[in-house]
Amino acid sequence: MRVLTLALLLVASSAAAQQPAAVIPESARADSVPAPPPPPSPEQLRYLDGLKTVGRGVAQLKDGVTRVANAGGDTTKLKLAGRRLGGLCGAARGFMTSGRTKMQPAAYADSTQVRARKLTVQIDTLVRGAGRCESSAPRETDSTAAGLLAQLRAYEAALRDFRAAIGLPNR
């Protein structure tokens, strides 16, 4: 059985090798391949580096909100999650503030600049929200987490639009 399968594969591959390849005109090949985007400028690289730092802070905020959601109805766990959320908000605010200072929307042009500006506005909103979260999360855990979650969703939408504008895949 194996010998028969091997023989059929050899016959099929030799028949395919004998057929002439399809000839594609040179002009058609050049038009079908899009030109690669130009390399990012130093200002754009600085913007993206700042965005990476902001992402670390956003990950901490998401972790804190997840801890509150996982606490459920247990008041002891909720109180502990509220304290942890407050601490994570403080750490996240530091990351987001240092990353935001590197992000200048003027590094981009046209519609990409508009999306970069919307993203920085959302980051500024998160920074302010993290400051409020740091002080109010231990007392008002549920409402603080809910408000922070709404801000995180708006940030994610702005990030998705920005990544699409610069040609990066959205995860």
Give the pLDDT confidence score for residue 20 in this predicted structure: 52
Please compute the mean of the pLDDT values over residues 131-141 and round it to a whole number: 94
Angstrom distance (rounded) from CA 151 to CA 153: 5
Q: What is the pLDDT of residues 74-130, one digit of tens each?
A: 899 999 999 999 999 999 999 999 999 999 999 999 889 999 999 999 999 999 999
Q: What is the pTM of this model?
A: 0.76
